[in-house]
Amino acid sequence: MSDGRTRPFRFSVQAFEAESGPSWTGLARRAEDLGYSTLFTTDHYFGPGEISDASGHRPVDVAPMTAMTAAAMCTSELRVGCRVFCVDYHHPVVLAKELATLDMLSGGRVEAGLGAGWVTAEYEGLGIAMDRPGVRIERLAETVELLKAHWAGSPLTFARASGFAGRPRPVQQPHPPVFIGGGAPRVLRLAGRLADIVSINFNNAAGKLGAASVASSTREATAEKIGWIREGAGDRFGDIELEIAAYFIAISEDPAEAVASMARRFGVPDEVLASHPHALIGSVPQICDQLEQRRGELGVSYINVAQRSMEAFAPVVARLAGR
């Protein structure tokens, strides 16, 4: 059993935008060259317009599976994934087969990110019924179980899949790492029970991003979320890799001013943002110290960085990746 407080750091890039095919493959190659472990796409389907305005989520350019495949095919070590596939948008057999095929073609470099869905306006815009949270989380659990069974190659006996065995078998055995993200008690307990990687995120129960999202993920709230993961995991907690997104990044020799500016923008007190687990603000050495301190306190070792911060954050990756 591993101890998350000594687990080596990994860093990923979350990509939303691509002007053309070459720029996307160039992004993937650059992420690999800079030492990032993983390139994540995102499972949203809206461009600019009312959905983005209502949800506070930026528009997304690329379809996740196609972009993941392109990134895997132009690199040799970079892992690929989607942070995260909304299970309501995909039939589980189709998703299982697509992910297994990509794992086979990439030589075992897929991370299988899954979530219960949260963008209310996107459900409405796509004409998909958005069930209450408990139903969506139960569907997430059923999807995880079906994917694992499909990847095991045994005959399937599910309500949504029966009469055949899953093919192809993924390279990673017993299956690609299952990555579940969320910010509320039920989904994080489920993630603790079923996932290999758990992403500690905002509680987006309101169905949109805003000041409440930021306030739901303070240092104290994040420690409570890790407690929910531990409850679900039981004895396997030490084997789970904990991931978090650094949504607020500023490489600055004047961190106080950078903190004050961001705090005003997001409507939280300076002291809350300064210690916020989703914020990394300061010089490169200061940020490295913050990450090592948080790994020691919380056990979080897998850090996600937005595409726009990939280059600026690279010196941190160079110092800490694999340590």
* Residue 279: strand, helix, or coil: strand
Closest to 192 measured CA to CA, from 162, 223, 147, 235: 235
Q: Do the Cβ atoms of 21 and 62 come closer than 8 Å?
A: no
The pLDDT value recorded for residue 1 is 44
pLDDT tens digit sequence for 48-105: 999 999 888 888 999 999 999 999 999 999 999 999 999 999 999 999 999 999 999 9
Q: Do the Cβ atoms of 219 and 278 come closer than 8 Å?
A: no
Residue with tokens 């079906």: 146
Q: Look up the pTM and report it.
A: 0.94
Q: Do the Cβ atoms of 225 and 277 come closer than 8 Å?
A: no
* Residue 283: strand, helix, or coil: coil
The pLDDT value recorded for residue 210 is 65
Q: Do the Cβ atoms of 249 and 306 come closer than 8 Å?
A: yes
| Alpha carbon distance 136, 115 (integer Å) | 9
Beta strands in the chain (DSSP E): 10-14, 38-41, 79-82, 85-86, 110-115, 155-158, 161-165, 178-182, 197-200, 241-246, 248-251, 279-282, 300-306
| Alpha carbon distance 4, 144 (integer Å) | 23
The pLDDT value recorded for residue 48 is 92
**pLDDT tens digits in sequence order for the chain, 323 residues long:** 456 788 999 999 999 877 666 799 999 999 999 999 999 999 999 999 999 998 888 889 999 999 999 999 999 999 999 999 999 999 999 999 999 999 999 999 999 999 999 899 999 999 999 999 999 999 999 999 999 999 999 899 999 999 999 999 999 999 999 999 999 999 999 999 999 999 998 766 665 566 677 777 889 999 999 999 999 999 999 999 999 999 999 999 888 888 898 888 777 888 888 889 999 999 999 999 999 999 999 999 999 999 999 999 999 999 999 89
Q: Cβ–Cβ contacts within 10 Å for residue 164, how many?
A: 10
User: H or E stretch including 228?
Assistant: helix 219-233
Q: Do the Cβ atoms of 70 and 21 come closer than 8 Å?
A: yes
| Alpha carbon distance 175, 235 (integer Å) | 20
| Alpha carbon distance 124, 41 (integer Å) | 22
Q: Do the Cβ atoms of 166 and 101 come closer than 8 Å?
A: no
Integer-rounded Cα radius of gyration of the chain: 19
* Residue 137: strand, helix, or coil: helix
Residues 113, 115, 119, 123, CA torsion sign: positive
Q: Cβ–Cβ contacts within 10 Å for residue 84, how many?
A: 25
The pLDDT value recorded for residue 20 is 62
| Alpha carbon distance 206, 120 (integer Å) | 8
Q: Which CATH architecture has domain 10-320?
A: Alpha-Beta Barrel (3.20)
